Amino acid sequence: MTWQRMSGLHCLTWQGSAVFHRGKFHVIGGCCTEMQGRFERSAEAFDFANWEWDKAEEDFLEDSTCPRTCVDGGDMGMYMCHAGEAVALQDSRWQTVDKLLAEIRHTAYMTAWEGKLLVSIGEAHVAYMLDLKSRRWRKLVAPEEFCGHVQSGCCLEI
C-alpha cells in the first residue's frame, strides 16, 4: 500500500473538519494556512470515483461556525452542533434537529450511529445521547475506568 496525494484542494486547510460522507471525503471550514485566523464558510469534497475535488460549496457554513463537531450520520445525513442546537444538513441547508441540553452547550465531540447522536462536552463524566426518532435525550454514565477528558474520537462500525 502506498500513500497518494489528493491534489487540487482549493487551499490547504487548518483547523477544519474532515468527514467521510456518502462516498466522498469532505474538508469543511477551517482557514487556509496563509490566512490563519480567517475562517472559511466553504466545504470541498473529494470524489474517489473520479479522483478529483468537486467544486467548492462557498456558503456551506454560516459565519462564525466551528465545524469541529461535523459527523457523518450514515444514511441519515450529516450533523453538527451549532449555536446551542444539534443540526442536520437537509436540502443543502442546516436544519435544527433539537436544542442541546444546557449541560452540553459547549460540545467537544459528537458522533452518530444507529439513529442516535452521542454528544460529549469533554469533561470527565458528561455525555448524552439523542435518539433521532423520538427526539429524547438520555444521560450516559460511564464506569470510572472509561472516564476522562475527551478531545476527539471516532465511531467505527464493523
Domain CATH code at residue 127: 2.110.10.10
| pLDDT score of 6 more than 90 | no
Residues 75 and 128 in one domain: yes
pTM: 0.82
User: What one-character DSSP code corresponds to residue 92?
Assistant: T
More confident residue, 153 or 27: 27
- For position 45, what pLDDT does the model report? 93
Domain end residue (candidates: 62, 78, 108): 62
Measure CA of the first residue to CA of the last residue in the chain; give whole Å.
21
| pLDDT score of 117 more than 80 | yes
- For position 49, what pLDDT does the model report? 92
Averaged pLDDT of the chain: 84
The sign of the dihedral angle between the CA atoms of 117, 135, 107, 143 is negative
Residues 32 and 90 in one domain: no
Here the cell at position 139 is 444521560
| pLDDT score of 60 more than 70 | yes
More confident residue, 110 or 157: 110
- Boundaries of domain holding 27: 1-62
Q: How many domains does the chain have?
A: 2
Residues 77 and 154 in one domain: yes
Let me know: does 129 contact 117? Beta carbons within 8 Å.
Answer: yes
Q: Of 79, 11, 75, nearest to 41 (Cα)?
A: 11
- CA–CA separation, 52 and 48 (whole Å): 7
Instruction: Read off the amino acid at residue 66.
Output: C
Q: What is the mean pLDDT of residues 19-33?
A: 86
More confident residue, 91 or 60: 60
User: Up-side HSE of residue 145: CA atoms within 13 Å toward CB?
Assistant: 0
Residues 3 and 47 in one domain: yes
